[in-house]
Amino acid sequence: MAEDNTARFALKTELLLRIEKLGLQQSLFPTSDELIDKLIQQLEGISPIPQPLQPKHLPSLLGNWQLVYASAGTIVTRQIASIPDFGGAIKIKRVWQILASDSNTRKILASNSAQLELPILGEWQLQANGHWKWSTDEKTATVSFNSFSVQATKPFGLSNWSFPELKIPVLEFLQKEALWITSYLDQEIRVGRGATDNLFVFRRDVKPST
């Protein structure tokens, strides 16, 4: 146990330093780093919480998380990267996720948000709301989203002005499910794997996200 704790500390320290060195813009766009991916895989092998979706471990899973690395980018950043001669002008301010328990069902409420700075148009926030429903292995969940929203938080760079949030519900028959594996979890970082094995590293946010 002590050896695992020492290894985890060393791997996490090197991982976070390498992600920080990449910078937020590069770490969230489709630019997989082989060394970072290898460090993540090593961490997955010594996860202190092998079944993070067990009810007793949910307090460690729930809360506010900042996304700091995505090996193949995110849905948003992949779309931006595909825009010729324009993607570089769009700045990712932050990407975060809020997980909360749903006391009425065996589900976790999930809110994924991204804050972008667009040329001329100013700062905008995108959000997707949905839920996780986990399976018997208490590590894998199916994820679906029931609404999306967009809001200009600082239109045209004006900090004292904002547009109302535009919320778009997704009809139930149009909601698609995707597999999501929480492959590593401790009190500071979390690793998720998407359906195509993309790696996502989250770091716990001690300050509430709005």
71's CB contacts (< 8 A; 6+ apart) are 32, 33, 36, 37, 198, 199, 200
Predicted local distance difference test score (pLDDT) of residue 207? 62
Average pLDDT for the chain: 88
Contact of 184 with 69, CB cutoff 8 Å: no
Whether 2 has a pLDDT exceeding 70, the answer reads no
Calpha distance 142→118 (Å, rounded): 32
- Residue range 24-62, pLDDT digits in tens: 888 998 877 899 999 999 999 999 999 999 989 999 999
Calpha distance 203→189 (Å, rounded): 4
Predicted local distance difference test score (pLDDT) of residue 135? 76
- Residue range 123-180, pLDDT digits in tens: 999 999 999 998 788 899 999 999 999 999 888 877 777 788 899 998 877 788 899 9
Calpha distance 16→186 (Å, rounded): 14
Predicted local distance difference test score (pLDDT) of residue 148? 95
Other Cβ atoms within 10 Å of 192 Cβ, number: 22
Contact of 69 with 193, CB cutoff 8 Å: no
Q: pTM of the full predicted structure?
A: 0.89
Calpha distance 199→184 (Å, rounded): 11
The residue behind tokens 């082989």 is 34
Predicted local distance difference test score (pLDDT) of residue 84? 67
Span 92-107, average pLDDT: 87
Predicted local distance difference test score (pLDDT) of residue 127? 96
